[in-house]
Amino acid sequence: MIYQKLRPRRLRISSGMRDLVRETELSVRDFVYPIFVVPGEKIKEEIPSMPGCFHYSVDQVAALAYEIAARGIRAVEVFGLPAYKDEDGSSAWDMESPVQRAIAAIKDAVPDLLVVGDVCLCQYTTHGHCGHLTGHYVDNDRTLALLQKVAVSQAKAGADIVAPSDMMDGRIAAIREALDENKFENTSIMSYAVKYASGYYGPFRDAADSMPAFGDRRQYQMDPSNVREALKETALDVEEGADIIMVKPALAYLDVVRRVYEVTDRPIAVYNVSGEYAMVKAAAANGWIDEQRIVLETLTGMKRAGAKIIITYHALDAADWMNG
């Protein structure tokens, strides 16, 4: 009989032992819950491609904020559909638009709940692209001035963090400058520094009505094949003043998350995007997977890869499961 001296299974022998030696602990404090706000009143409508997620009118978000905070979740990210669209997306910085009003309502209802404002233009423009168009080209430098207006408007509404997701070059420096000039030096910037041109965004574009009227976003979002480019984008955004670095999507890019984690001292966020969410919900609805186990395993994998912040549509369910 072989005498086995090395027995790693000893540290897996019981639940108590596994808890004692666990290397990565998922917490509800890691989560940011994305919400979608729309014009109108008394609206709570499920998004067809994202079961369990809803469009809310602004008069519904205070109650939602209480519900989120009661679970121990510390932050939300606010996305919105505007009442009107134009070529430059001016409703994105209109203080009467749903996003700005929702930010103010959340901070009034639950002041300690952190609010992240998504800084982009795609759902506000008539063409669905993320900036000012010159022909079919998104004009980088003319777009920066528009993004500055969006970020400042969200800070005025009460956002603790602004999160530019447009992928224009130089946007972090431009937004930091605008925030500081307007006395919002304590408003943080969470940069979508590493945002890929991904097929995983499909349900979100349904939820936010942000499908491009022509072409796609590969001129400005990153090629899914590239990782060294992610490190360059990270370094540039850190140099420009980003407080938090995000990788989006998460699930197919955990190698990128790890590489980014290893080259920066900034906190890392990941976005567990709509397509990742929808796949799990569809499989669970068909009885093919154990939804709770899959979701918690997936979120743990994101944290293990290096994420401190996980933006996820699973946040409410995951918090309920984790809180028992």
pTM for the predicted model, two decimal places: 0.94
* Spatial separation of the C-alpha atoms in residues 112 and 175, rounded to whole Å: 24
Inter-helix orientation angle 274-285/291-305, to 10°: 150
Instruction: List active site positions.
Output: 195, 248
* Cα separation values, 86 from 23, 95, 175, 226, 271, Å: 50, 16, 22, 34, 28
Inter-helix orientation angle 315-323/291-305, to 10°: 100
Q: 232: Cβ–Cβ under 8 A, 6 or more apart, which residues?
A: none
Question: What is the overall mean pLDDT for the chain?
Answer: 93
Tell me: pLDDT of 35 over 80.
yes
CATH fold of 26-323 reads: TIM Barrel (3.20.20)
Tell me: pLDDT of 73 over 80.
yes
Tell me: pLDDT of 84 over 80.
yes
pLDDT in tens, 234-277: 999 999 999 999 999 999 999 999 999 999 999 999 999 999 99
pLDDT in tens, 198-226: 999 888 667 656 666 665 667 878 999 99
As a whole-number percent, the residues of the chain with pLDDT over 70 amount to 96
